[in-house]
Amino acid sequence: MKENMLGEEGTSGTTRRGRGFAGMDDERKRQIASEGGKAAHRKGTAHEFTPEEAREAGRKGGQSSRRRGEETRE
């Protein structure tokens, strides 16, 4: 069975390749995102976290991570 980008057979029985970001490997996506971030900083339009924002983001990430761990153990 041939698979498309979603892991399903296409209607015509042919394999479909993902287009755009969907068809790229993770490393290439990271590369493009990194270039975009650097360009935004050069342009002066990038968001820079305040210490308070960074603390809040870290707290939320920790809570999410903890919840996932509890779900796995159950």
Does the predicted model carry a pTM greater than 0.85? Answer: no
Distance of CA 70 to the CA centre of its chain: 23
Torsion of CA 69, 71, 72, 74, to 10 degrees: 120
pLDDT of residue 71: 66
Question: Is the separation of the CB atoms in 17 and 5 below 8 Å?
Answer: yes
* Distance, CA of 65 to CA of 69 (rounded, Å): 6
**Are the C-beta atoms of residues 9 and 21 closer than 8 Å to each other?**
no
pLDDT score recorded for residue 21: 86
Look over the chain and give the mean of its residue pLDDT values, rounded to a whole number. 79
- pLDDT at position 65 is 74
| Position 43 confidence tier, pLDDT thresholds 50, 70, 90 | very high
Whole-angstrom Cα distance, residue 54 to residue 21? 28
